[in-house]
Amino acid sequence: MHELIIIGAGPAGLSAAIYAQRFKINTLIISEDTGGTANTAHKVDNYPGLSGLSGFELLMKFKEHAEMLGAKIIIDSVKKIEKINDSFRITTKDKEYESKSIIIATGTKRKKLNVKGEEEFFGKGVSYCAVCDGFFFKGKDVCIIGNDTHAVQAGIVLSPLAKKVYMINDKKEYNSEPVFIETLNKMNNIEIIKNMNVKEIFGENKVKGIQLSDDNKIECEGVFIEIGSVPGKALISDLNIDCDEQGHIKVNEKMETNIKGVFAAGDITTGSMRWYQIVTAASEGALCVKSAFSYIKEK
């Protein structure tokens, strides 16, 4: 029986892991990977004190810090969380764990565009991660679909690699930080197509292009779908945790959920004014541990 199990080892989970070690809570971290979504950030220039690192480099520093303090991270996928009397049973692919309290820090999953060809050509030209897959499109024409920071950052990453980058935005403007938009506007192989939707991704064995809502076609070899993320609901369905309409776990200022002993941090919550950043995720992870410590002590 652990005192605390942290599910997820992105910024929120790893920050919680660091604080849990300092609070001397008997803790286990279970996660599908270390680093989480932040690993896909090309360059993180807004984490205080550590500018200029890639997301992966920054999160490896989080991991090293947690492990240096003694944190134990198990790489596994949690399939189920159940409340058994006053504790929790956490089931992974092939093991069961028990804990007095839990922190859910499982982040979000990439949103699907839901157009014809998206599923068929996934991995054959369709990608949800410019940082991870951009290299495969060196010297080729690519399209980026989206209207916020995800799309703008993908443009910044892909422009130096690709021959030409078409950016399809269903709005008039990008909803992103001005500093990113300024950088994007300086790139000379980008064509932005505004107020436009995508009807279809077409090809033969691999992507050959997209068809727009005005029926025009753009030929390209890569299609990057950068339309944001949604929280995964399956994992928490047995717990009856209160969520908002998008599936973000409702938390109070102590990062408590409606279930006693269950805390949540990071992109999966409604906390921090829904400002989904590494620094806010890390802050929520720290707050969770403070609350979990009080909860464990009380019990």
Residues that bind ligand FAD (CB under 6 A): 7-13, 30-33, 36-38, 40-41, 44, 46, 77-78, 105-108, 150, 153, 232, 235, 266-267, 276-279, 281
Query: Do 162 and 222 form a contact (C-beta atoms < 8 A)?
Result: yes
The smaller minimum CB distance to ligand FAD, of residues 157 and 201, is found at 157
* Closest approach of ligand FAD to the CB of residue 76, in Å: 7
Rounded CA separation 208/221 (Å): 5
* Secondary structure (3-state) at 189: coil
CB nearer ligand FAD, residue 93 or residue 298: 93
Q: How far is the CB of 144 from ligand FAD (least distance, A)?
A: 12
| CB nearer to ligand FAD: pick between 90 and 168 | 90
Measured from the CB atom, the residue of 203 and 292 that comes closer to ligand FAD is: 292
Cβ proximity to ligand FAD, 21 vs 31, nearer residue: 31
Q: CB of residue 138 vs ligand FAD: minimum separation in angstroms?
A: 19
- Least distance in Å: CB of 169 to ligand FAD? 17
- Give the CA count within 13 Å in the CB-facing half-sphere of 210: 28
**Is residue 238 within 8 Å of residue 120, measured between CB atoms?**
no
**C-beta of 21 vs 106, nearer to ligand FAD:** 106
Residue 297 CB, nearest distance to ligand FAD (Å)?
25
Contact 26, 5 (CB under 8 A): no
* Least distance (Å) between residue 137 CB and ligand FAD: 16
